[in-house]
Structure 1
Amino acid sequence: MTSLLPLVFVIAVTAAKQGYEDILRYKTDNIVNCSPVTVIRNGVEEHIESQEVAPGDLVLVERDCDVPCDLVLIRSSDPHGKCFITTANLDGESNLKTLMVPRDLPMVDLDKMHKLGVIECESPKTDLYSFNGKIELSGSDGRVLPLTAENVLLRGSRVKNTECVIGCAVYTGMTTKLQLNSKLTRNKTASSEVYINRFLIFILVTLIVIVTVLYFLKRYDELFVIPNLAYLGPPADSYSVKQFLQDYLSFLILFNYLIPISLYVTIEMHRVLGGLFMEWDTQLYDEATDQPCIVNTSNLNEELGQINILFSDKTGTLTKNEMIFQQCSIAGRKFLYKKTRLQEEGTAYQVDINKFNKDQKNFFQALAICHTVQVAGEMNGNGTAAAAPNDKPKSPESIAKASPSAIPAALMGGVLATKYSISDITEESHNSSQQSDVNSLETSLSTDPNGLPIAMSTPTQTTSDVNPLLDDTEKVERRKRPQIVKRSPNFARATHSRVHPMSMPAQGFEMVNGGDRTVIFPSSLQSIPTGRPLSMQFKRSTSEMDLPEYGGAANGAAGVGGASGILGHRRSQSYGAPGAYITQAATPGVVYRTSSTTSRESYAAPNFQRQPTILIRAESQRRKNEIEQVVHTLDYQASSPDEKALVEACAHLGLVYIGDDDEILKVRVVPPHMDYSRPFSVGKVNEMNFDRLHVLEFTSDRKRMSVIIKDENNVKWIYTKGAESYVFPLCGNHASEMINKTDAHISDFARLGLRTLAIARRKIGEDEYKQFLVELNEANSSLENRKELSAKCYAKIESNLDLLGATAVEDALQDEVADTLISLQKAGIKIWVLTGDKVETALNIALSCGHIPQNAIKYFIIDCSRKEDMLVHLNALDREIVFGMGHDCALLIDGKSLAIALTETPDEFRDVTIKCTAVLCCRLSPLQKSEVVSLIKTAPQNFNTAAIGDGANDVSMIQEAHVGIGIMGKEGRQAARCADFAFAKFCMLKRLLLVHGHYHTTRLSLLVLYFFYKNIFFMGIMFLFQFHTLFSSSSVYDSLFLTLYNVIYTSLPIFFISLTEKPYTEETLAREPELYKKNTNNKQLHWPFFLAWTLYAIYHSLICFYFAFFIFSTNDVILNVGQTAEFSCFGTLLMQLVVIVGNLKLWLESKYLSYWYIVTIIGSILAFMVTTVIYNVIDFHYDTDIYWAYNKLLSSIPVWLFCILTTVACLLPDFTFRMAKRGLNLPKRSFFPGKERLRLLQLQRNKTQSTHL
């Protein structure tokens, strides 16, 4: 029973924990499996549970609802067959993505939709971005339509900005791509468990040896000793197998306490609470994003203190992933981007869009249309967010009640729109005092050209001297959107003019329908006056008494009837005044001056037409502000931050992409600056429409994306954007000179740490396009090798391109990156940066962030395509490291060369690169990242690796490493979800590893070693007792002590200290990263430490047992009453010594003593005393003599003196060694200095060895 109860307790705790987690999983599964789903079977709606959906069901999904299974999109309420979704639960990307109903799919009613055809698709695969299938239409048509990934809604995605869609279920339950990907994550185990298992095996072997030895000693006594002891009676005549099993198993049960069965439960609780401490750490909390640290795998807490090599992504991890367009190369000339202008390098001249040449126009036109950016924002007439009258989408039932054919109409692209009327809106003036002056001016000038008063209730026309953003005047219909625009755009501030009421338009704002997105621009930006504004006709006045007189008639004469107005021109109303704004009327007029100013006209300001005036600058600034607000309101959504940065840069320059209407891309030319040569000439809106025919998507293999468009002249073009190493080979031979210049510029950009893309295009002939369509259709119709055929078709059309130039986008470094990387390097962690950027860009970032030391020797392996060349490079690098006289050596290798190294020379590459100070791998695919991590894990040194990243392309690397760390960044949350630990900023990694990693490693080591110590100490006394009882397999302890020893008497202090132990302060660990090396490679769990604790346990057992044995054997009259102490007093006294010495030993080993820790030690000792007192005063009437034994011991002064003496004797060596180590400052490296010297000598020899390749 004494052995069974602790085992039952441990199993019960583990079962309770696992059962609780199973219950939570069951409830979570029920939420998903029992969620309601609307299906259409035989034309009738049914509401079923999601677990009942079967392949072939037509599933209806409404807006803002999750997709319950993998569906082929059959119908959408969008008139163009589009469906907008977010896939944050799949790949972490929160941007809108567009799916399409298969082209040429016939429109049928719902009751006939299930007879539309047969869908044939490939077997379920884990790839989220590929789908091969086809739909064979039924009936006389019999056509076969290809199905691709853009036609499939995956389980876990969410429908957005689309009222409802209908899809055919193809993969359900465990066969969905989401479920298949959930199986990819593997269970990771901590390296410390390897050492724990070794110790357990050692203890198990020791247990078998002890039991066997004791059994044979017992048999020896039975044969040769006991026969000589007459008082024991005659020995047994025979010895049976039953007697053998009884004797052997008795010893085995007696000494089974050597195995700490509660160790794993304690470790599990220690890890869970330790993970909570990290999540509660305020220094790992990012206030800006409201994101604390997330611990997904608490089993790896101590692994944070064991990292030898860190693999890091660059973009979004070391950098902020906030892309800003900085420079560009156009037609072999380098330009700097100045927000709204371009400045050619080496000159001070800046050019805006009004003076762009042909090459510059073509270049930025390519950037404005070669993308897949979505426009998510929109506004209504009053400049606020478009809110639907009823936020809840219309259900098919409500539509059906309104019209018998409402459901088919809505789901076949019918208009589910709401008409909005746009009313006049007068915006507040920039300056309230200025507005009051203008109002007084309007009052004094409120006469028509005939001198008649104008009713003040008549609205005035709002005009502005700005070239129009938009000039469409027809009313449009638009559908409601759930998108909320929280900020009023305030496109333009109205200026007031004096206009005849008959000439005023009825509407104050004009509206342009950009597909499904409606953007409202003020009508003040639509018209431009033909005459000069009144304010521009003032000359500088030298007196406040100069009173200009305004006439109401044409030709500058006074109006009929002599009506006139007088206005004093004051400094506060001039354009040079601080805070002045354009609020005066843009009305022609003549300025009349008094004779007193005639003599001072020589001081007048220069004519505004000869140089930019304050007005022109103010108007240009207003334009730039309005464009900025338009870009903010449009809310570009892009799958790549680079694309968004390029589109926004085009908008600031004046090419505003306002969205697409059924693949018709709309780009508005909106010059942000006035043309100084003719600043007030009437402008004509220039809107360019491009028909996007095809999008050749970006892949990690192609490293580029292309679009095929048809311009307004029905000319087809292909625009390509991608990495220069993949785009340059596609350009024609005629562009060799420009390629060289552009390549040199790209190298310059890369040296500045900028991300680069090459831009190219060419015209496509009609015959070539038709052939492309035929080949593309054939590729899409294939199920086996569709991807390869499509890639071949894409490569054929992406050829003989004309290079336009290159872009350079800046990605700024994250906060405190340099300090973090340098600290980690001082901690002995080697850092490998794995990125998809080119070598020059990555090298500049690596130098600026401290990844590669400035004085390090940099060795490049670029464009290596043969095994022999790779071996030459590796041998040279190895010699450089060996004979580098202690200099740091950094390796830079590109993806092409790395592919050769991984396939042809993996072992040689691994053995050489692990000697480098830093390694930078560029142009890598996600698969290559994971392969690099996997290769390093096979090193004979058994390196502990960690990988950190923020994007979906880092997931494979994060899952492959021993410890995966995710950054909750701008590329989504998939990396954070798949990682073991996640936080918001890279700089938090320093605290996570150097502080929490160090603490968790130290605490776990102390927890494990102490568990083995206290059990060996406990059973050591039992082992010694057997030698004095003729190996009778009897216990020196009472059964109560055997049951409660590991549960109550010694569990709480070690558990508490395993959560709070701090060998160094947090500030010291952060300030001295070298302390991290003390715990790496599980140094504190090596055999020397384990054997040291074992020796302490044996020593304590010997002292406690023989001190007590000596006292009881020489004079057992140790009680105050003069009575002899019975045997139960001996066992109880030994148990008290074990509890006291064992807990005080832990106190000596701990370095962070808190009041609560002292309370746990005292509480554990008191728990023994209280339970024993209660136990010994109860008469159980069974074979035991402990009744009242402990009370006798407590009342004896000699017993207390004996306990103090024995405790001091036990702990004196521990205390002496600790004080000596502190006084002499001995390094805590090994208890065996001879082995340490041999290890250092071997390391020194390894430094002079060279790898022969």
Structure 2
Amino acid sequence: MALSVDSALYRWQRLGAESPSQTLSELAPLLFSVRDKAKLNLDKWRIVFPNNGRQQKDWKQASTFYSGNRIQTTKYTWFTFLPQNLFEQFHRLGNIYFFFLVVLNWFPQVEVFHKEITMLPLIVVLLASMIKDAVEDYRKYQFDKMINFSKTRVYDKEERAYVERCWKDVQVGDFVQLQCNETIPADILLLYSSDQNGICHLETANLDGETNLKQRQVVTGFSSQNTLFEPEFFQNTIICEMPNNDLNKFKGYMEQPNHERIGFNIESLLLRGCTIRNTEAAIGIVIYAGHETKAMLNNNGPRYKRSKIERRMNIDIFLCVGLLFMMCLVGAIGHGIWTRNFLEHPPYDVPDENGDFLSPVLAGIYMFLTMIILLQVLIPISLYVSIELVKLGQVFLIHNDIDLFDEEADLPIQCRALNITEDLGQIQYIFSDKTGTLTENKMVFRRCTIDGIEFSHQENARRLETHKELDLDDEDLAKLQHFTLPPMNIERPATYKQRTMRPLRRCQSARAHFQGHTRNRSLGRRDSNQSQVAFSSTIEKDVTPDSRLLRRVREAALQTEDLSPFIHMKTSPSLTDFFLALAICNTVLVSTATEPRQRVTVPPPIKPSGITLEKIHQIFQRLKLASLSQSLSSSQSSSDLGASFNAKNTEEHLAALGCCDNDDDCCTSSRGDELRGKGSTDIGSASLDEVFKSVTNNSLPTDFCYEAESPDEAALVYAAQAYSFTLVSRTPEHVTVRLPQGTLLTFDILYTLGFDSVRKRMSVVVRHPLTKEIVVYTKGADSVIMDLLEDSAKADISAEKRMKRIKEKTQKHLDYYARDGLRTLCIAKKVLNEDDFQKWANFRREAEAAIDNRDELLMETAQHLETKLTLLGATGIEDRLQDGVPDTIAALREAGIQIWVLTGDKQETAVNIAYSCKLLKQRDTVFTINTENKVNIE
């Protein structure tokens, strides 16, 4: 049995005594039983026991301390509505003023009107506001009720099956089964996915507004299950951090019955409110429920909002009260002086029950209070009622404004807060993001530099200048096909057939029409009223290749045709690595146009008899495949390249390699003898045809959809595809790239180090299928990549000069890209030997299993790996301004509104964009403050 509550204290005390070097923080999660949760250590860690009957006592004890899954976003309850609403309404000075008049009118000495009549206006005002607030809060109550009574499938330990339950009945420790297009009811640790690679895809639009799919990975050790996950056999105990509102961080570990620990992080956590996509079934255990989920912790709850006009009105009412006080004071003083002038008493004065008359001073006080009631019209009691009616009318007009209707989403504008609509016209400051707000967030590959040589892609630039966003029919699409370069699919080595490939299409991101966490249980089928968002237009996916770069690619192909060792290789191997890095160094999801957002998988190639991988490797080495991977793409050049690979040239290749087309007739040549004399190995009777067929899969589709978490990644993948380095498939363990000839190369993915804002880069560690080298491909900001480059050996002066020259030229090109307003990325690589990689991998696994200082350890391992890189090149990506942005900003500035734009781009890029969108004018004086210390700015 896994760790129990009653045994936790004893076992960890014993371990602590045996291992005195262990710090308290390492033992903290399990030092105390759940009964002692109030103690300090369990304020930092949470213990989750499975609700499957095996640890029922522990689960019951722990569940009493955890929140249920019922949520409440309403401001009031049936019992607190009246006092709480009155308390909020009396924040208005006007209401306090009128209430004072009502109380004052109850005193007979100063009574002016009937008591009931004086109360009636105030009651009407308060009641009108109460009704409005009650209606608004009742809508929230209905929304909460719809969510709480939504259905999901929860494992029942009595029936030993999944049964439908309401969301409100889900508890921490329950096992939940999710289906495609279902909304996640709580924060759940992923333990099973129907995907063969243990991947679950999420759409997080309800949390962050992004429609691109996010990938979540089953906890290590659970991804290799061949059968459905069975909760009754789950015996592990989960220790994780306490609930917090950080959507991007989560850490913990799972303790197995043999006391082994399995670490996990945010990549295995399914967040409440997200939607399951592309996954038929997923099973997980609830970690946080209800108001302890990360989504609810980011919701600060309902609060009373007051507009600027309302706050200003309080000041005006205060001034009016001051004026009223002065008027009443003057009247009271005058009345006292006037009554004093009578010798006895005023003739209208009535004595009290004792026969006494009022003194002039007391008469003046009563007159002061009486005049307050008489002059109360100075502040009209209908003021707030009139304002509320005007607000309702304004909300109605806003909801029905045709200019504010979103045709793409088929939704009108909605006012969530009815109290502050008038503030829309009182804006003084606008704080704006750049990407996706000022720009279209449509990243387009614009230009690149490889080995210090700049390729401007002028044709691509002209296409971008003249391109118009139109809905293209099939005829128009056919006209644009020359923008995409088709690969050459090898069916026989003697005749290379050309098969035109349709332009790649990025998937439409199908965002479910979501209303209050409702879900569609139709297993992957979407409602017809779903809105199609995040559509990638033609401008993003079509890249016109640069003629000079295309010529170098053609030279590489022709050099491959002639295997003479005396021919100088003019093309650099960096071309190959550059395009492979563009295709591999990402987390792009690959699917087909016929099955959008359904992962493409490549079946393992069938190896013909008599052909070993070593023999295939020898042929690829002879064909200079590593350099050939820089190859061809254009439809205008594919015919020339295809003609060069004809039957005659193939026979020469076979002769040069000493290969036989059949057992009886073996080809020989002096060139073949020469090559064999230099150490080549005879590969027997294997034909080149068989070799290519063993690594080529012509049954794969040619029309792919690319879905990327970042538009930059998709742009780079499209750029690689334009030169026929096509990303075909990606799984957590493998990535497959189709080379220009149609040959498939499947790389083993050893590790993926995702991008973060601290490192400003991402890396992918792969094993090359031919050379078996361990290669690290890295892309990131030039400000960090340039500092991580390897210094050439001082003994090799020529290599040092060459690398220095490449670095200087690349930096010069990057500065030019930035001044042109392009987003820049550097591409680099590193080759590791097996021993160094194993040492690093062990260090990485220890960091992943740690729970204390895990983030720091993971950062340290990443920085240790991403050093001594070799620069391959850099890219410039364009993100165009949205239509009307310059005119809008100019109009806002002219209206006196101050605009601030936040961007993570380079300084030169940011300044260029600022001028382009008219945030800066040519006559403006720009002050630049660069510092890494906050104190220096102050």
Q: Same fold by TM-score, threshold 0.5 exceeded?
A: yes
Query: Take 1:243 and 1:114, find their aligned partners in 2: how far apart are those partners?
Result: 89
- Among candidates 69, 74, 79, match of residue 191 of structure 2: 74
- The equivalences for 1:1126-1145 within 5 A come to none
- For residues 1067-1078 of structure 1, the aligned pairs below 5 Å read none
1:4–1:788 distance in 2 versus 1, CA, 3 Å: same
CA distance in 2, matches of 1:63, 1:234: 87
Once the two structures are TM-superposed, the CA of residue 257 in structure 1 deviates from its matched residue by: 3.3
In structure 2, what is the equivalent of residue 26 of structure 1? 141
Please tell me whether the aligned partners of residues 191 and 219 of structure 2 are also in contact (alpha carbons under 8 angstroms).
yes
Matches within 5 A, 1:1034-1073: none
1:753 positional shift: 1.4
The alignment status of 1:716 with 2:752, answered yes or no, reads: no
Counterparts of residues 441-840 of structure 1 (less than 5 Å): 633-670=703-740, 685-712=742-769, 713-734=771-792, 735-840=803-908
Are positions 1:41 and 2:109 aligned together? Answer: no
Equivalent pair of 1:707/1:719 in contact (CA under 8 Å): yes
Distance 1:36 1:244 in 2: 71
Residues 1:265 and 1:741: Cα distance change in structure 2 (over 3 Å)? farther
Tell me the distance in 2 between the aligned counterparts of 1:801 and 1:31: 54
Distance in 2, Cα, partners of 1:668 & 1:347: 18
Matched, 1:328 2:386: no
Q: How far apart, CA to CA, are the structure 1 residues paired with 2:790 and 2:154? A: 54
Shift of 1:230: 4.0
Aligned to 1:891, what secondary structure does the other structure show? coil
Shift of the 532–155 alpha-carbon distance from structure 1 to 2, 3 Å rule, reads closer
Q: CA deviation at 1:179?
A: 0.2
3-state SS of paired residue (2:456): strand
Q: Deviation per CA, 1:774-794: give whole Å up to 9, x if none.
A: 222222233232112211111
Measured after TM superposition, the shift of residue 19 of structure 1 is 0.7
* CA shift in 2, pair 1:3/1:771, >3 Å: farther
Cα contact 2:600–2:729 (8 A) shared by 1? no
1:17: which partner in 2?
A: 132
Name the counterpart of 1:267. Answer: 387
In 2: Cα distance, 1:149 partner to 1:760 partner: 28
CA change 1:646–1:386 in 2 (3 A) is: closer
Deviates more, 1:740-749 or 1:817-826: 817-826
Equivalenced residue count is: 626
- State the match for 1:1060 in structure 2: none
Asked if residue 143 in structure 1 is aligned to residue 260 in structure 2, the reply is yes
Q: Which one of 359, 368, 377 corresponds to residue 574 of structure 2?
A: 359
Give, in angstroms, the shift of residue 284 of structure 1. Answer: 3.8
Q: Distance in 1 between matches of 2:826 and 2:271?
A: 33
Per the alignment, in what secondary structure is the counterpart of residue 785 of structure 2?
helix
* Corresponding residue for residue 891 of structure 1: 927
Q: 3-state SS of the aligned residue for 2:239?
A: strand
Return the alpha-carbon distance in structure 1 between the equivalents of residues 199 and 345 of structure 2.
Answer: 101
SS at match of 1:635: strand
Contact 2:590 2:597 in 1 (8 A): no
Structure 2, unmatched stretches of 5+, are: 1-115, 461-482, 486-543, 559-570, 608-638, 648-697, 793-802
How many angstroms apart in 1 are the aligned matches of 2:768 and 2:208?
Answer: 35
Contact in 2 for aligned 1:66/1:157 (Cα 8 Å): yes
Whole-angstrom CA distance in 2 between matches of 1:531 and 1:130:
53
Whole-angstrom distance in 1 between the partners of 2:550 and 2:274: 51
Amino acid at match of 1:634: F
Does the Cα contact within 8 Å between 1:344 and 1:350 map onto a contact in 2?
A: no
Structure 1 residues 692, 530: closer, same or farther in 2, change over 3 A? closer
What residue number does 1:1123 align with?
none
Secondary structure of the corresponding residue to residue 152 of structure 2: strand
8 Å Cα contact 1:69-1:169 kept in structure 2: yes
For the pair shown, the structure with the greater C-alpha radius of gyration is 1
Q: Secondary structure at the match of 1:837?
A: coil
Letter in 2 for 1:842: A
Any idea what SS the aligned residue of 1:116 has? coil
The 8 Å contact of residues 371 and 643 in structure 1, kept in 2 or not, is answered as yes
1:937-1086 equivalent positions in 2, closer than 5 A: none
CA contact (8 A) 2:589 2:597 kept: no
**Distance (whole Å) between structure 2 residues aligned to residue 207 and residue 225 of structure 1:** 28
Q: Name the aligned partner's letter for residue 175 of structure 1.
A: E
Pairs within 5 Å for 1:401-420: none
Question: For residues 827 and 645 of structure 2, what CA distance do their matches in structure 1 show?
Answer: 43
Residue identity matched to 2:432: S
User: Partner of 2:546: helix, strand, or coil?
Assistant: strand
CA distance in 2, matches of 1:326, 1:226: 101
Once residues 166 and 399 of structure 2 are traced to their aligned partners in structure 1, the CA distance between those partners, rounded to angstroms, is 36
Contact 1:732 1:801 in 2 (8 A): yes
Letter in 1 for 2:776: I
Name the counterpart of 1:116: 235
What's the offset of the Cα at 1:186? Answer: 7.5
Q: CA separation of 1:636/1:265 partners in 2, compared to 1, >3 Å: closer, same or farther?
A: farther
Say whether residues 1:374 and 2:589 are aligned partners: yes
Tell me, in whole angstroms, the C-alpha distance in 2 between the residues paired with 1:13 and 1:737. Answer: 76
The alpha carbon displacement at 1:285 in A equals 3.9
Is the CA contact (8 Å cut-off) linking 1:342 and 1:350 kept in structure 2? no
Q: Would the alpha carbon gap of residues 5 and 359 (structure 1) be closer, same or farther in structure 2, given more than 3 Å must change? A: same
Residues 325 and 132 of structure 1: CA distance in aligned 2, closer, same or farther (over 3 Å): same
- Tell me which of 141, 160, 164 is aligned to 2:277: 160
The C-alpha deviation readout for 1:254-308, integer Å capped at 9, x for no partner, is: 3333334433343333234324434433334454554654544454444444444
Aligned to 2:507: none
Compared CA separation, residues 352 and 387, structure 1 to 2 (3 A): same
User: TM-score by structure 2 length?
Assistant: 0.61
> How far apart, CA to CA, are the structure 2 residues paired with 1:319 and 1:193?
36
Distance 1:224-1:334 versus aligned 2 partners, 3 A rule: same
Percent identical among aligned pairs is 34
In structure 2, what is the equivalent of residue 177 of structure 1?
Answer: 294
Provide the C-alpha distance between the structure 2 equivalents of 1:345 and 1:532, rounded to a whole number of angstroms: 25
Instruction: Give the C-alpha shift of residue 704 in structure 1.
Output: 1.2
Alignment CA distance shift 1:216-1:237 (3 Å): farther
Distance 1:112 1:470 in 2: 31
Q: 1:794 to 1:22 in 2, by over 3 A?
A: same
SS at match of 2:250: coil
Per-residue deviation at 1:245?
8.4
- Distance (Å, rounded) in 1 between the aligned partners of 2:376 and 2:367: 14
Query: Residue type matched to 1:891 in 2?
Result: F
The answer as to whether partners of 2:332 and 2:365 remain within 8 angstroms in 1 is: no
Counterpart of 1:948? none
Q: Is the 8 A contact 1:750 1:756 kept in 2?
A: yes
For 1:819 and 1:143, the matched residues in 2 are separated by: 62
Task: Give the whole-Å Cα distance in 2 for the aligned partners of 1:668 and 1:639.
Answer: 22
In structure 1, the gaps of 5 or more residues are 380-384, 389-416, 420-468, 475-524, 534-626, 672-684, 857-887, 907-1253
Q: Is the 8 A contact 1:353 1:653 kept in 2?
A: no
Q: Which residue of 2 aligns with 1:257?
A: 377
Note if 1:92 corresponds to 2:209. yes
**What is the rounded CA distance, in whole Å, between the counterparts of 1:94 and 1:54 in structure 2?**
29
Name the amino acid aligned to 2:209.
G
Structure 1 residues 349, 166: closer, same or farther in 2, change over 3 A? closer
Taking structure 1 as the reference length, what is the TM-score of the superposition? Answer: 0.46
Amino acid at match of 1:721: K
Point out the structure with the larger helix share: 1
Q: Which residue does 1:205 correspond to in 2?
A: 322
* Cα distance in 2, alignment partners of residues 221 and 65 from structure 1: 82
Check 1:231–1:293 CA distance in 2 against 1; reply closer, same or farther (3 A cut): closer
